[in-house]
Amino acid sequence: MPHVAWTELEAAARRDALSRIQDQFTADPDRLSRMTLDAAGLHLDLSKQSWSRAGFEAALALARACDVEGRRAALFAGEAVNLTEGRAVLHPALRAPDGAQFRALGEPVSAEVEAVRAEMKAYAQALRYGNETGATGRRFETVLHIGIGGSDLGPRLIWDALRPLDPDVDLRFVANIDPRDMAEALAGLDPETTLAIVVSKSFTTQETLLNAQAAKAWLADALPAEGLAKHFIGVTAAPEKAQAFGCGRTFAFRDWVGGRYSLWSAVSLSCVIALGWEPFQAFLDGAADMDRHFLEAPLEKNAPVLLALAEIYNVDGLLRGARSVAPYAHALRRLPAFLQQLEMESNGKQVRQDGSPVGRQTCPVVFGEPGANGQHAFFQQLHQGSQVVPVDFIIVGRTCDKTPSTYLWANALAQAQALMVGKNEAQAHAELMASGASEAEAGRLVPHKTFSGDRPSTTVLMKRLTPQTLGALIALYEHKTFVEGVIWDINSFDQWGVELGKVLAKALLKDAAKGEPSPELDPSTADLLRRLTA
């Protein structure tokens, strides 16, 4: 039963809190081989996590007690794993090879996926070769991607990770409704050679529609009205609304694709155009490789499962409420922001599937920056802060063809090592004395130069960042997020928490138009509104 497995995991974590990670390598000679694995072009090392062998086994027992294998099968079978909305969740169908047989609630969907992929490929090639042109007959040189949340973060991550140094097509993104974002995106562009792709699942997202209207006005000022629709593409599950807006063409995706899981679909059409089809297909293939690994590997050697169990051990066993993500690759600079949405929107929940309180911590706060930059910012807290924050180190062996990345990855390895081993008072004192400090000065500075160590981390290593390894990396974290949701017994695929603020914003817009707050507003909000409308 899950209750017994939870109790045993918490007891193991209490015991492990009394020992040091570094000592576990001596106590368990097989630790490294047990807690490292290779999957879909990635190497994972979880040996620097806080669990002992007994803690590791307790975590695996919890996964089995919560029926991770059964829920995994239900996900891939297209069952209604999104219970609050009665939907299947089938992002794996979007990257499956041709001939797959995925079904959503019994309805075959793979043929539809393949048809949309073929349409994306044909359109992207026509545009790249100049066969698809704008209102004045000129070929498109720039794509303006308009979306927000899952309709923005995923394609941005793909583009930043895979873009050539001198791309054939200039790809720009707009998400923020601050007019400055649109102004920066449009700077230097020619309306005659600019294609706008508007991405919204419902085609009712307020921020996206406001930005789409601004782009439309900019294009309409320079283009003949009869050709304006050529400059607008809609990517949506509501094609009729996109057409009513003025999109000359639409690409569809279905309601069994959540926004933060949708980058495998036509949501990334802008990247297909800018990169070409072959890199995008390789990106899909890498994710499909991780899907196969997740389905077939035993739990004790299953990369997404072990990542999830390490998180749960830290969050629930050791009460660590945050995790940092440090990619040591400039091309992966968007990964922390992407994972913030993927994990915190999916698992930032406080009730179980049946509506009862979870009664324990769920998703930690996820934050990060590229590691080389983070070392000069928040890593101080990671090493010497009073709160222990586990870290995911993402290391790329070679980030650039022209320059070896040795200095970069050496820093990553050193940071992970330093977090684990620390520096005790005797070591700090000896270093100070060796540097010429007096005994009094050494005694004064020792507390400031001591590192407690025993701080956990996971390392994900790839030789190079390729479309395949990028796809595998993202799919790895998608499945990790799902496994955590299964073990916490929460629905990882709805996001009701973002709705209330949207509803209240509409009411506040009406108050702002009147210049006077409604009587039912709380005093603080009412006062702030008066100040802003004065």
Phi and psi based region of residue 19 (left: phi greater than 0; alpha: psi -120 to 50; beta: remaining): beta
Q: Is 479 a catalytic residue?
A: no
Round to whole Å and give the CA distance between 134 and 466.
Answer: 32
Q: Which of 79, 343, 345, 369 is catalytic?
A: 345
pLDDT tens profile 401-436: 777 789 999 999 999 999 999 999 999 999 999 999
Round to whole Å and give the CA distance between 246 and 345.
Answer: 31
pLDDT tens profile 336-385: 999 999 999 999 999 999 999 999 999 999 999 999 999 999 999 999 99
Contact 234, 249 (CB under 8 A): yes
Q: Is 383 a catalytic residue?
A: no
What confidence score (pLDDT) does residue 440 get? 96
pLDDT tens profile 208-243: 999 999 999 999 999 999 999 999 999 999 999 999
DSSP label of 82: B
Contact 477, 65 (CB under 8 A): no
Contact 113, 94 (CB under 8 A): yes
Q: Which domains does the chain have, with CATH numbers?
A: 93-282 (3.40.50.10490), 499-533 (no CATH)
- In the predicted model, what is the mean pLDDT of the chain? 96
Say which residue the tokens 């090392």 belong to.
Answer: 45
Q: pTM of whole model > 0.85?
A: yes
pLDDT at 321 over 90: yes
What confidence score (pLDDT) does residue 84 get? 94
pLDDT at 256 over 80: yes
pLDDT tens profile 54-109: 999 999 999 999 999 999 999 999 999 999 999 999 999 999 999 999 999 999 99
Separation of first and last alpha carbons in the chain: 60
What confidence score (pLDDT) does residue 220 get? 96
- Nearest-Å Rg of the Cα atoms of the chain is 25
**Smallest Cα–Cα separation from 461: which of 62, 158, 46?**
46
Q: Which of 3, 376, 402, 510 is catalytic?
A: 376
Q: Is 402 a catalytic residue?
A: no
Q: Averaged over 432-456, what is the pLDDT? A: 95
